[in-house]
Structure 1
Amino acid sequence: MRHFIGKLAWLGLMLATPVAFAQGNAAAKEPPKAIVSLYRVAPGKHEAFLKWMADRDAIDKQLGLPRAQWYAHFQGDSWDYIAIAPALTDAQQKKEDDAARAKGLTTGAKSSIEFRQFIASHTDTVAFGPMNVSDMITLIDAP
């Protein structure tokens, strides 16, 4: 559950990075992955949405799991919030789900339906990162 930097330049880097990585040598370490989620919240549901997400964030904090970094819309495009979170391993996801169930929170398909009551639209994108530009260039230049 768990930015946009210069629209075309960033998109170009994101598209080029996996191709460059695939062409790199087998000894190269895969860069970390993150999930970038962009939310447009349904009218009147902002406070409920944030509380719903905070309940889940508290579980990650309690378990010592990596937590999302949140950004709130101020000016510009029509999104309300962006969350950027490290992708969890299957074991971490199971640990998170078990803890959520223990606290009486929904998980799985039921959680997805519950989540949608707050949302007008959203997207989730798996991206490489966080990295700095030098790391990205290293991936592109890998043999």
Structure 2
Amino acid sequence: MLIKKIKTHTTAMVIAAGLTLTSLGLASYSPPALAVAEESSIYTITVWKIHPGQHIAFIEYMQEWEAVYKIIKLPPMKWYRKISGDSYDFVSVSPPFDRTAEHEMERVGKERGLPIGYNYTLKLNEFVDSYTSTIVEGPQSMAALLSQIDK
């Protein structure tokens, strides 16, 4: 009877721990799949929708950050404007954010009077209705993609 109680108690603890880890996202965590790609072919693509009437202010604001990137020798985002299609306004393509340069970027931005940290987000929200980002690898041909698949 004692062994059955211990087994039941142990099982309950394992289930509780599993539920806790799952609720924290730890049990199903898997690292990003960046390791399979050449770093030079990884980009962040962001689709931007700007508040009506805020396009010029947004462009001017992002131009100020472009100047910061130039000073600290990071490649700036490449911008594309919508000419037809969906309700977005701009698409930007950039290398993934360089965390090692973050402090330098904030230092130079602050020196230039730009908001940093959470204040950056608050300022950005004055112009941006919504945006979404994704990390991609490419460009690649369909043949190159097929060559990566185990059949």
Query: Which is helix-richer, 1 or 2?
Result: 2
CA shift, 1:135, in A, is 5.2
The percent identity for this pair of structures is: 24
Residues 1:132 and 2:140 aligned together: yes
Q: Aligned partners of 2:78, 2:34: CA distance in 1, in Å? A: 27
Residues 1:34 and 2:52 aligned together: no
TM (norm. structure 1) is 0.71
Moved more, 53-62 or 119-128: 119-128
- 1:19–1:123: structure 2 CA closer, same or farther, 3 Å change rule? closer
SS of the residue corresponding to residue 76 of structure 2 reads coil
Larger radius of gyration, structure 1 or 2? 2
- 1:20–1:75: structure 2 CA closer, same or farther, 3 Å change rule? same
Listed one character per residue, the Cα deviations across residues 58-109 of structure 1 (whole Å, up to 9, x for unaligned) are 1112222111110000011111000001113211222212210111111111
Aligned residue in 2 for 1:72 = 81
SS of the residue corresponding to residue 123 of structure 2 reads helix
TM (norm. structure 2) is 0.67
The one-letter code matched in structure 2 to 1:34 is Y
CA shift, 1:32, in A, is 3.6
Aligned residue in 1 for 2:96 = 87
Aligned residue in 1 for 2:55 = 46
The one-letter code matched in structure 2 to 1:54 is Q
Aligned length: 117
SS of the residue corresponding to residue 115 of structure 2 reads coil
Aligned residue in 2 for 1:10 = none
The one-letter code matched in structure 1 to 2:85 is G
5+ residue gaps, structure 1, are 1-17, 22-27
5+ residue gaps, structure 2, are 1-32
Aligned-residue CA RMSD in angstroms?
2.5
Residues 1:102 and 2:111 aligned together: yes
Q: Aligned partners of 2:34, 2:58: CA distance in 1, in Å? A: 36
Q: Aligned partners of 2:55, 2:48: CA distance in 1, in Å? A: 10
Q: Aligned partners of 1:121, 1:61: CA distance in 2, in Å? A: 26
